Structure 1
Amino acid sequence: MSEYFYGDRLFTALEREEPAAGMLLVAAPGMFSPEFARSIVLIVEHNESYTFGVVLTERSEIAVYNVLPEWLPAVAKPQALYVGGPVSPQSVVGVGVTKPDVIIEEHEPFTRLANRLVHVDLRVQPHEVTELLDGMRMFAGYAEWAPGQLQDEIERGDWYVAPALPGDVIAPGSADLWGDVMRRQPMPLPLFSTFPVSIEDN
């Protein structure tokens, strides 16, 4: 039944933002791809060659302590490894929230994504950046789109593009991030904030 709702293309009737680093991809209610159902993806890089980002909504059962213990002091609670996407699950991507007074451009390990949101170069020593961050997340793997692929999916109504807030990256484990992001979008999106992963389960 979800395919009939999805066919309404809820997002295609709304004013659109362009995808860019630091923006969110909000999965459409009734998303066809089960791995992206009720997901929020933070775009880390977007250019003519590809787009890559990390899924903010899928926490694994693996503790950061077990795989990257040296980074534990910088990681926000819950201190678990998140599943960033299906591509290269053995690689880790770090995204952080800087403290309010940090000038991002003055720190080489940081690449600005949005206000206080940074892509963290994990090749540095953790102590070089820990004091500059209010928290960070570690993502195993990432999501990637070939040239034109993401734009096609947006045009089809698969994704809504929205600005990211710092709290989206380090949201508490109990938060319903997809619902919270939907609630702050223009109408009628807040009305769909409680839409389930599968409409058959409602």
Structure 2
Amino acid sequence: MTEVSLTGRLLVATPALADPNFDRCVVFLLEHDEDGTLGVVINRPSPVDVDDVLVPWSKIVSEPSVVFQGGPVAMDSALAIASVPGGAEPLGWRRVHGGLGLVDLDVPPELVAADFGSMRVFAGYAGWGPGQLETELRSGAWYVVDSEPGDAFTPTPDRLWRAVLRRQVGELAMVATYPEDPTLN
């Protein structure tokens, strides 16, 4: 049973996480309840331009304007998140946390473009069944930290893992200096 929802928070892979799908990744949690957990990896840009797969949305997405690898599940499907400043709730947008929400990609972009501050498209997602994430948290695979509004849309996703850790307090900030391969130290 999930006691506290982690929706809207970040999962930051610990150096001990051995799964290559999540090595040094940062996951923004879209849903977390007794039925399981759903999130998207926000620091893995792919080489695919949004213009190659979702032409109507290509002028709205934040830089870099590529599709991000949201996770290992359903890589052939797309989902998008967008920020909506000022508390509005535009057509085809469902609030997840604060000013961030999921975008219905079937809505014509011209109807919502003016309402979006930032937007990003993801291929696939990361998912955990009931209790699965809690087991991984107990085993030390993830750090759970607060998200900041710009995390999901950073123009430098390759630096996000270190940046998120660096802004934490205490020993957790030190993890940001952990080398890619500790055997080479």
Pairwise same-fold verdict (TM > 0.5):
yes
Spell out, residue by residue over 1:22-63, the C-alpha distance to the aligned partner (whole angstroms, 9 max, x if none): 111111123211221111001111121221110011110000
Runs of 4+ in 1 over 4 A off after TM superposition: none
CA-CA distance at 1:161 after TM superposition? 1.2
Amino acid at match of 1:76: S
TM-score (norm 1): 0.84
What is the Cα deviation at residue 193 of structure 1? 0.7
5 Å matches for 1:11-160? Answer: 18-99=4-85, 101-104=86-89, 107-160=90-143
Question: Which of 141, 144, 151 in structure 2 is aligned with 1:168?
Answer: 151
Residue type of the alignment partner of 1:72: S
Matched with 1:8 is none
TM-score for the superposition, normalised by structure 2: 0.91
Deviates more, 1:172-181 or 1:127-136: 172-181
* Residues 8 and 147 in structure 2, CA contact (< 8 A), matched pair in contact too: yes
Q: Percent identity?
A: 38
2: CA distance between counterparts of 1:200 and 1:71? Answer: 44
Q: Secondary structure at the match of 2:137?
A: helix
Distance (Å, rounded) in 1 between the aligned partners of 2:11 and 2:30: 11
Q: CA deviation at 1:186?
A: 2.0
What letter matches 1:103 in structure 2? A
Q: Which amino acid aligns with 1:52?
A: L
User: What is the RMSD computed on CA atoms of the aligned residues?
Assistant: 1.8
Q: CA deviation at 1:18?
A: 4.3
Corresponding residue for residue 171 of structure 2 = 188
Q: Aligned in 2, Cα 1:19/1:37: closer, same or farther, shift over 3 Å?
A: farther
Taking structure 1 as reference, are residues 20 and 111 closer, same or farther at Cα in structure 2, changes over 3 Å only?
Answer: farther
Alpha-carbon shift at residue 103 of structure 1 (Å): 2.2
Q: What are structure 1's unaligned runs of at least 5 residues?
A: 1-16
The letter for the 2-side match of 1:149 is Q
> Which stretch has the larger CA shift, 75-84 or 124-133?
124-133
Answer with 138-147 or 18-27: which moved more.
18-27
2:184 equivalent to 1:198? no
CA contact (8 A) 2:91 2:112 kept: no
What residue identity is the alignment partner of 1:83? Q
Q: Cα gap change, 1:180/1:141 in structure 2, threshold over 3 Å: closer, same or farther?
A: same
